[in-house]
Amino acid sequence: MAAPDLTSYDLLAPQLSGGKDSAVMMAVFMEAARASGVDDRVISYHSSLGVLEWPPVVFGGIRYPGVSKLAALQSAAFGVPAARHLEVTRTMPGPDGTRMPHSLLTEIAAYGRFPRMGSPYCRKSAKESVVSSAWTPIVNRLKRELGRPVRILKVMGLRSDDGPDRKKRAAFRTVQANSARIVDEWLPVKDWSTGAVKEWHADAPVPYCWTYDSVLGAGDWSGTSRCSCSLCVFAARTDVLLSIGRRPRLADLYAEVEQARGDSFHGLAYHRPDPACRAVRCARPRRRLPGRRPGVHRPRGAGTAGPEEGATQGTRTGTPRPSRTAGGVEPCVRPVRPQGATAEASRPGAPPAVLRPPRDR
């Protein structure tokens, strides 16, 4: 479909997961924004999944960025100033009153059930509602100035090839309309095939995530087919097995939640109760998948223990079930600034505040 009238929006808000589709989307979208002369209205967002994200890895003396860094690189590569790329995440009050990150796995542990077909609450809870909440300061300010609801265009890299639900989703639709904001959603690369996306990446100005390859730097696209949560309830079984091989300690945390809550991470997602698919068993697959090697192991005690610790605290402390809406859990907004960037957002009204330091993965 043709681009919507971008000049009719007060805020243009691409959402970058850091995956391969986000990069293509950003290229297509920014070309349209520049053609319309409104690229100065763009603020890009990355909703950080914390410890669940694919982290940076050093392999063969080369550092491969994690998805948070990739999202920032994708934004910068297509002309968005660093101060207008924001990383947001969920937080909740900690024991001492300060706000602490609230990861999706913590929420699952406290809630007691994994997301599944028919109840994919993770997408909204970990991503959409967090970004939507981060718009609130802009909406409040612009609504006062404009005297009308603020018009926002949310731009995403979802594609029809990703599954039947994505195929059914309209390339353009209004997703929210109230007295404060009107939010439209645009999927500019909805009709791109997976092959076309991979072909585009051959000459892309940004790298793609290491997990797409069988071995880091191989360039063969024979790793995981997706790159968001390292362990996704909706991923294919082959992806799940490979992810468990690459992030065994994270898999152990999922297994802990499964055992504590009596719910299956993956089997029930397909409405096929399958005890063999439980993470606790998958963590020790008896045979390797043909053509897919784990490639990277992150052994116990090697660097990532910090953030993974505490991710399942809901099972340990009996944390009450949180609201699955953003209402009770405020987002943390963190501008991602490469070296040399200024501290001031260049667009008036950009959400301020550095609320937490970068997390050590």
Nearest CB to ligand SF4, comparing residues 75 and 125: 125
Site for ligand SF4 in 233-272 (CB under 6 A): 233-234
What's the Cα-to-Cα distance from 185 to each of 141, 143, 280, rounded to whole Å? 22, 20, 38
Q: Using CB atoms within 10 A of its CB, is residue 300 exposed (0-12), middle (13-18) or buried (19+)?
A: exposed
* Residue range at the interface with ligand SF4 (CB under 6 A); choices 76-84, 151-159, 215-223, 231-239: 231-239
Nearest CB to ligand SF4, comparing residues 123 and 166: 123
Nearest CB to ligand SF4, comparing residues 54 and 78: 54
Nearest CB to ligand SF4, comparing residues 39 and 107: 107
Single out the residue of 28, 156, 158, 232 in contact with ligand SF4 (rule: CB under 6 A): 232
Element (DSSP H or E) covering residue 121: helix 121-123
* Residue range at the interface with ligand SF4 (CB under 6 A); choices 55-63, 146-154, 212-220, 227-235: 227-235
Q: How far is the CB of 120 from ligand SF4 (least distance, A)?
A: 6
Nearest CB to ligand SF4, comparing residues 91 and 243: 243
Q: What is the DSSP string of 50-94?
A: GGGBPPPEEETTEEEP-HHHHHHHHHHHTT--GGGEEEEEEEEE-
Q: How far is the CB of 163 from ligand SF4 (least distance, A)?
A: 10
- # residues contacting ligand SF4 (CB under 6 A): 10
Query: Is the dihedral angle over the CA atoms 278, 312, 334, 154 positive or is it negative?
Result: positive
* Residue range at the interface with ligand SF4 (CB under 6 A); choices 66-74, 85-93, 137-145, 229-237: 229-237
Work out whether 212 is an interface residue with ligand SF4 (CB under 6 A): no
Cβ neighbours of residue 267 closer than 8 Å, sequence gap 6 or more: 273, 274, 275, 276, 277, 278
The two structure tokens encoding residue 104 = 């999706």
CB 186 within 8 Å of CB 30: no
The two structure tokens encoding residue 232 = 């996704």
Instruction: For residue 85, report the phi and psi dihedrals to the nearest 5 degrees.
Output: -115, 120
3-state percent breakdown (helix, strand, coil) of the chain, nearest 5: 40, 15, 45
CB 204 within 8 Å of CB 284: no
Q: How far is the CB of 108 from ligand SF4 (least distance, A)?
A: 9
CB 226 within 8 Å of CB 52: no
Site string for ligand SF4, 110-129 (x = CB under 6 A): -----x----x-xx--x---
CA dihedral 190→193→198→204, nearest 10 degrees, is: -40
CB 244 within 8 Å of CB 236: no
Nearest CB to ligand SF4, comparing residues 38 and 104: 104
Work out whether 189 is an interface residue with ligand SF4 (CB under 6 A): no
Work out whether 229 is an interface residue with ligand SF4 (CB under 6 A): yes
Nearest CB to ligand SF4, comparing residues 41 and 159: 159
Site string for ligand SF4, 286-315 (x = CB under 6 A): ------------------------------
Name the site residues for ligand SF4 (rule: CB under 6 A): 115, 120, 122-123, 126, 228-229, 232-234
